[in-house]
């Protein structure tokens, strides 16, 4: 969609930047709220901005009086695209942990944060597994000692556990 406005000389100036608020299909309002689509739009805007910055740097590096108008047009295009990017970014709800931003500020790779989080999860998982194994061992030892002291009750307990596990497995198979 192109917006055109007359300037003071009567000529029309066209703005090739699409309006971020326009939606060509009014029935497609759910697509506008799609987080992946919003993120892709921001990524595309970033890529377009990088292209505009590259064009601008080429224009500036070979600047002469004749290139003043193209320079102004590229600066205006850059400003419009940055404005568009800001509007698109407002639709994205991306939360970046402060640790990642601090790593980037320190000139480090943000993948270190991911690696540290994964290693932390692995350590916590191992601790939890150790606790689970300890409880299983405790249960086994308690049952062994109970069996020596109360063999009939433990046999009754095991029968009840076996029948309840059979019933629950039949019920879960029934619901699948």
pLDDT at 167: 75
pLDDT at 165: 82
pTM comes to 0.45
Structure tokens at 153: 């009750």
Task: Say how many C-beta atoms besides its own lie within 10 A of residue 15's C-beta.
Answer: 14
User: Are residues 85 and 49 in contact, defined by beta-carbon separation less than 8 angstroms?
Assistant: yes
* CA atoms of 115 and 94, how far apart (whole Å): 20
State the chain's mean pLDDT as an integer: 81
Lowest mean pLDDT among 72-76, 113-117, 118-122, 140-144: 113-117
User: Are residues 49 and 82 in contact, defined by beta-carbon separation less than 8 angstroms?
Assistant: yes
Structure tokens at 34: 């799609």
Short-list 52, 112, 109, 121, CA closest to 82 = 52
* CA atoms of 77 and 71, how far apart (whole Å): 10
pLDDT in tens, 143-164: 999 999 999 999 999 999 999 8
Structure tokens at 55: 């064009």
pLDDT in tens, 69-93: 989 999 999 999 999 999 998 888 8
């Amino acid at each position: 969609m192109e917006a055109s406005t007359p300037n003071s000389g009567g000529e029309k100036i066209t703005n090739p930047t699409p309006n971020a608020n326009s939606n060509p299909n009014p029935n497609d309002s759910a697509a506008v709220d799609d987080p992946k689509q919003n993120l892709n739009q921001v990524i595309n805007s970033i890529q377009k901005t990088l292209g505009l910055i590259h064009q601008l740097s080429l224009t500036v590096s070979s600047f002469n009086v004749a290139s003043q108008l193209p320079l102004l047009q590229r600066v205006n295009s850059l400003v419009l695209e940055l404005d568009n990017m800001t509007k698109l970014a407002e639709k994205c709800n991306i939360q970046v942990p402060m640790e990642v931003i601090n790593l980037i500020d320190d000139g480090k790779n943000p993948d270190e944060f991911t690696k540290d989080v994964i290693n932390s999860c692995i350590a916590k998982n191992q601790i939890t597994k150790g606790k689970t194994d300890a409880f299983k061992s405790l249960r086994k030892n308690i049952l062994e000692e109970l069996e020596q002291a109360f063999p009939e009750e433990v046999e009754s307990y095991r029968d009840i556990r076996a029948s309840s596990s059979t019933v629950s497995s039949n019920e879960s198979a029934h619901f699948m």
